[in-house]
Structure 1
Amino acid sequence: MRQFIKQNKLLSFAIGFVALQIGLALFAPILGFQDPYQQVMIQRMKAPNAVNFLGTDQLGRDVLARIVYGYRTSLVTCLTAVGLALLVGGMLGMLAAYYRGWFDRIVMRLMDILFAFPILLLAIGVIAVIGPSTWGAAIAIAIVYTPIFARLLRGPSLVIVESEYVMGAKAIGASDLRIIFSHLLPNLSSVILVQASLLLSAAILVEASLSFLGLGAQPPIPSLGLMLSEGRNFLLLSPWPAIFAGFAILFLSFGFNLLGDALRDTLDPRLRSDN
């Protein structure tokens, strides 16, 4: 596996790029970054310098520290959201394909109802009910992405359920749960990996949008979208917080999107090169 990754340069770069950003977020407390909550009013809206490498914001807080800790907020929110969506939506999709009939019709019609709403509008509606917070944003994004996983896994599950080895497992008396977890799920692993990576990329943008609107992480929690929202009011005086927060969102989303594309090209036999 390690040799295979080394031979695929795009996949290696994508994994390294994502791992670097995740590493910064995970080990931020021991990497010597400044306190992201510390306010030094006499250092307000400073340009990048030797002490504050990316400058300071309107409250004198270090922009670099806010961005690194903002990575933590975005990653925790989006990983939780995509994980919940995969767990609920993926299970519903597999069960709908396995049992068919009325269960399939009811589940898919419910998913169609969720699909009818624009992603951001549905997320805002969910947060309006449960209240703005980091976990509120995670739940809202999870609800938005649940039908995507349900539909995505239902399609290939329908094919697998009709395969000979699944029919054989049923014939020897294997339980439904054993068939689902021993035959369906392992054969869907590549699809799950690719789609989860791509949806993480999109979820980062949705989380940043919600935070920008004041519906995600609440001050003073470091958040990339919130930094962008606060920085837009001071663009003429000090554009650095908004510029660097925007680039941080771009890099984080781009990393997972690149990883998803690389995984798709690698795991899909139809897209592999024979060279």
Structure 2
Amino acid sequence: MPKTGKTPKLLIVAASAVIGLVLVAVLAPWISPYDPLAQDILARLKGPSAAHWLGADQFGRDLLSRLIHGLRASLGISAAAVIVALLIGGTLGLVAAYYRGWTERIVMRCMDVLFAFPVILLAIGVIAMLGPGSGPTAIAIAVVYTPIFARLLRGPALVVAESDFVMNARAIGASDARIIFVHMLPNLASVLLVQTSLLLSAAILVEASLSFLGLGTQPPAPSLGTMLSEGRNVLLLSPWSAVFSGVAILILAFALNLLGDVLRDTLDPRLRGEQ
């Protein structure tokens, strides 16, 4: 029995989960019960209660409010980084596939240099040059994922560049920019959509890792990785900050990864007819 009957339901579930998380992040200033920086000294390290549904951290700050704003920060940084990587890396991949020759060699060898570094090590190196903070973290993640998008688009773009409609566009004198962005790019939309969702899931983990190490979002601003790092210091006294921030990272990464997997299964014609 084909998977086509089951896939739409799973796609709806995954998309609904991602949309719900994005809405929570966007509406954070309006739905969080407290100011994420406000301190209630009497509630320090206390567990969930009627006043603080998820408890309070070591400074008496409401964990639910910080979790909501932390989700906003982590998702915003990761999304900005992936979009920048998509624009730069995708353009480089398309240009390399279209022009071939020395252009392709130079572009792809530069991408190979970036690929030679482990993800976290390269990100830490970029932040070491720019300094810690939300902006440098987004730039570091974008640098890490730019070669991935370049390599991803180059392969299928090589096939599309040799197709009949591209040859016809060349024959009638269409400009290179028009051929690349009007004729080639739309035929790679499904690949981009799937990979963007999957890399956004990975970017969430990288951002959380950098914030956990103290290189990302700086205190007292909330971030899921920062909350996890702060919670480990009082883990035996009050595990709520570490537990809830860790669960939030898990849910966010899982929802985005699930969406990417379902989109891949739905859009890839080779997988539609599998059992």
Per the normalisation by structure 2, the TM-score is 0.96
Partner residue, 1:27:
27
For structure 2, list consecutive stretches of 5 or more residues without a partner in the other structure: none
Which deviates more from structure 2 when the two are superposed, residues 202-211 or residues 41-50? 41-50
Partner residue, 2:14:
14
Partner residue, 2:79:
79
d(CA) in 1 for partners of 2:30 and 2:138? 26
Partner residue, 2:61:
61
Give the direction of change, closer, same or farther, for the CA distance of 1:59–1:149 in structure 2 (3 Å limit).
same
Partner residue, 1:179:
179
Partner residue, 2:240:
240
1:108 to partner: Cα distance: 0.4
Q: Provide, for residues 136-191 of structure 1, a one-character-per-residue CA deviation record: whole Å limited to 9, x for no partner.
A: 10000000000000000000000000111111110110110110111110000000
Partner residue, 1:47:
47
3-state secondary structure, aligned to 1:55: coil
Which deviates more from structure 2 when the two are superposed, residues 207-216 or residues 39-48? 39-48
- Asked if the contact 1:5–1:11 (Cα under 8 Å) also holds between the matched residues in 2, the reply is no
d(CA) in 1 for partners of 2:28 and 2:5? 27
The aligned runs of 1:111-122 (5 Å cut-off) are 111-122=111-122
- Asked if the contact 1:82–1:200 (Cα under 8 Å) also holds between the matched residues in 2, the reply is yes
1:18 to partner: Cα distance: 0.6
Q: Provide, for residues 18-63 of structure 1, a one-character-per-residue CA deviation record: whole Å limited to 9, x for no partner.
A: 1111111111222252111101111100011111111100000001
3-state secondary structure, aligned to 2:269: coil
The aligned runs of 1:129-144 (5 Å cut-off) are 129-144=129-144
**Partner amino acid, structure 2, of 1:99:** Y
For structure 1, list consecutive stretches of 5 or more residues without a partner in the other structure: none
1:273 to partner: Cα distance: 3.7
d(CA) in 1 for partners of 2:239 and 2:172? 67
Q: Provide, for residues 62-118 of structure 1, a one-character-per-residue CA deviation record: whole Å limited to 9, x for no partner.
A: 011101000110111001100000000000000000001111000000000000000
d(CA) in 2 for partners of 1:256 and 1:5? 21
The aligned runs of 1:150-229 (5 Å cut-off) are 150-229=150-229
Paired residue total: 272
- Asked if the contact 1:47–1:56 (Cα under 8 Å) also holds between the matched residues in 2, the reply is yes
Q: Aligned-pair RMSD on alpha carbons? A: 1.5
- Asked if the contact 2:42–2:60 (Cα under 8 Å) also holds between the matched residues in 1, the reply is yes
1:208 to partner: Cα distance: 0.1
d(CA) in 2 for partners of 1:142 and 1:87? 10
Per the normalisation by structure 1, the TM-score is 0.96
